[in-house]
Structure 1
Amino acid sequence: MPDPAAGDDGPVAVLVRDYLQHMSVERGLSANTLAAYRRDLRRYESFLVSRGADDAARITRHDVSAFAQAVVSGEDGFSRLSPRSAARTIVAVRGLHRFWALEGVTDGDPARDVHPPMTGQRLPKAIPVAEVVRILEAVDVGTPSGQRDRALLEFLYSTGARISEAVGLDVDDVSVSDALEGPAVVRLTGKGSKERLVPVGSFAARAVDAYLVQGRPALAAKGKGSPALFLNTRGGRLSRQSAWSILKTATERAGVTREVSPHTLRHSFATHLLEGGADVRVVQELLGHASVTTTQVYTLVTADTLREVYAAAHPRARA
């Protein structure tokens, strides 16, 4: 099977590198997002070369449409992609051609009318408040690492932070101890290095404060002075994998049998806010979504809940 990351030095490959440089510098994409773009566009390069279309000016709508079909069928020699992954790939290709047209590399945009394959809408998974509480309270806070674990899980649910945002925090990014200055807040750095301020609820603020006063100093004594908020047992920054393991252990102790990931807490945070009456645009800001459209998928979850309650409670909801 060919390697989509191999690339070459043909004309299209050079132009793709220019585009990726633009996306990195001008758009500030995260390293993970940029790597996904690079992988998808190098597959596109390979496909074009195989069709003798290694010239941006000669690429047609038919070439782009054929590629859209190839990523789903695998007929280009690479792995078949799911509709969702194929959609991501075609979005990358459309962005590339739009950039070329705007920069005058090509006279037109052959990808303009090529659309990603339809994907089934995957609703975010959320768990009931009662199960969240059971998971949070299942952590034994009798040790420094236990205090860290409780602080981390309370923080994730209280702020809706991505796991990468939480483990990337430094102590100076969070203010939880001075009640006179108002509610606790944290500065989170999301995708594209965009910063946002998010309130920290009282339960999470107390857990983080207790960890900073008692647990963290004990963990920090084993390291070399890391500024990280959440430390591992060697005094270094806690990894994403370790954070996931902490949640998994707490979930098992709580007797919650459904699959729960750090992102589940983020989904639950958003869903519970909307069910409590929060405005979708406020939730958008808290989650760090660039578009409210991304956040609105959570309103479908709460609408489903409303329908279930209605069906169960209204005397004439069912025949």
Structure 2
Amino acid sequence: MKADIDNFLNYLVVEKGFSGNTREAYHNDLSQLADFAEKCLSNRNAQHLWDNFNRQDMLSYLLDLKERKYAVTTVVRKLAAAKSFFSFQVDENKVRQNPTENIESPKVGKPLPGAISVSQVKLLLEQPTKTSAPEAKRDRAMLELLYASGMRVSELINLDIEDLDCNEAQVRCFGKGRKERIVPIYPQAARAAGEYINEIRHRLLRDESEKALFLNRRGERLTRQGLWQILKEYARQAGLSDMVTPHTLRHSFATHMLNGGADLRSVQELLGHANISTTQIYTHLTSEHIRKAYDSAHPRAKSNPR
């Protein structure tokens, strides 16, 4: 069973261009499914478990997830992984029928992305300046870049030093499917990144061949989990612990850009969204800005008629 999963995961990376993070998520979900299948089919003496895993078994698995209080969004993701996996197994002639066929995903209300205010962003970005620790300049550069560019956390940690041009104030990043985009950054972010590169990065570096822009104390590329721990600590110091997630600065970037008058297409390009419908969710967060603009601009809204 593990070999079948590994074969499928290799297909996702090589043929479909999926990222390492997506591969890991699929691996975790399918490994959990495999564990359930082995218990479910242990008394059937089946030579090929996947081919004997039927629709009823799949429904039992989903019921098990529900009884274990998994969030609906998590169940939807795990079902999607199973659907992709079994579709691949059918194409490869490893199974005769797809046990997920005609099983509908639970309906999920699309949550609005969490954004914080401009003043709260300012407060968060100020936290690294309050310490003299060498890593603080690295941390300030990371936070400034996240807010300046709207990059995903995974895009930031995958940056190589050659991807950042402080003189031109722009960064090259690779989004989903390794799609490249060039994003401008504001001067303060470029300066913070330049200070980190010139003053701190070489002190963290252990191997001259390391290309990663952001390094941990071992001189290795900073991980997503490492960045999240750093961000959580600064959020705690700023009194924003309950409001900040790894993507908060990305969501805040999009919301503040739209509030500042940026058009939707430009924000779509900056965020690296393939479809503008993904970007449109941020328009729901700008209603207050639109209301103020309407009240200040429309001739019949400027004053209350008597």
Which residue does the alignment assign to 1:286? 270
Give the Å deviation of 1:155: 0.7
Please tell me whether residue 188 in structure 1 is matched to residue 178 in structure 2.
Answer: no
Which residue does the alignment assign to 2:80? 91
Cα distance between partner residues in 2 of 1:250 and 1:213: 23
Q: 1:9-20 to 2 correspondence within 5 Å?
A: 15-20=4-9
Residue number among 127, 137, 140 corresponding to 1:150 in the alignment: 140
Q: Deviations over 1:212-255 (max 9, x none)?
A: 333444x24x7443433234456554444443344344444545
Contact 1:97 1:109 in 2 (8 A): yes
Residue number among 225, 236, 254 corresponding to 1:270 in the alignment: 254
Residue number among 184, 189, 194 corresponding to 1:204 in the alignment: 189
Give the Å deviation of 1:40: 2.5
TM-score between both structures, scaled by the size of structure 2: 0.76
Which residue does the alignment assign to 2:12? 23
Give the Å deviation of 1:68: 2.9
Contact 1:28 1:192 in 2 (8 A): yes
Report the CA distance shift for 1:254/1:16 in structure 2 as closer, same or farther (over 3 A): closer
Report the CA distance shift for 1:280/1:58 in structure 2 as closer, same or farther (over 3 A): farther
Residue number among 214, 221, 238 corresponding to 1:230 in the alignment: 214
Cα distance between partner residues in 1 of 2:282 and 2:243: 19
Report the CA distance shift for 1:206/1:92 in structure 2 as closer, same or farther (over 3 A): same
Residue number among 167, 188, 210 corresponding to 2:157 in the alignment: 167
Give the Å deviation of 1:132: 0.8
Give the Å deviation of 1:301: 2.5
Cα distance between partner residues in 2 of 1:55 and 1:255: 51
Cα distance between partner residues in 1 of 2:141 and 2:5: 44
Q: Secondary structure at the match of 1:84?
A: helix
Deviates more, 1:140-149 or 1:51-60: 51-60
Residue number among 296, 299, 303 corresponding to 2:283 in the alignment: 299
Aligned residue type for 2:63 = Q
Give the Å deviation of 1:168: 2.9
Aligned residue type for 2:250 = R
Q: 1:117-136 to 2 correspondence within 5 Å?
A: 117-136=106-125
Which residue does the alignment assign to 1:69? 63
Q: Secondary structure at the match of 1:140?
A: helix
Contact 1:223 1:235 in 2 (8 A): yes
Q: Secondary structure at the match of 1:136?
A: helix
Cα distance between partner residues in 1 of 2:228 and 2:78: 28
Cα distance between partner residues in 1 of 2:224 and 2:35: 34
Give the Å deviation of 1:156: 1.0
Cα distance between partner residues in 2 of 1:43 and 1:246: 30
Q: Secondary structure at the match of 1:139?
A: helix
Report how many residues are paired. Answer: 293
Aligned residue type for 2:21 = N
Percent sequence identity over aligned pairs: 38
Contact 2:166 2:193 in 1 (8 A): yes
Aligned residue type for 1:139 = P
Q: Deviations over 1:41-73 (max 9, x none)?
A: 344345555255856666655444443333222
Gaps of 5+ in 2: none
Cα distance between partner residues in 1 of 2:234 and 2:35: 46
Report the CA distance shift for 1:308/1:251 in structure 2 as closer, same or farther (over 3 A): farther
Contact 2:157 2:222 in 1 (8 A): yes
Cα distance between partner residues in 2 of 1:101 and 1:235: 44
Contact 1:127 1:264 in 2 (8 A): yes
Deviates more, 1:142-151 or 1:199-208: 142-151
Report the CA distance shift for 1:173/1:141 in structure 2 as closer, same or farther (over 3 A): farther
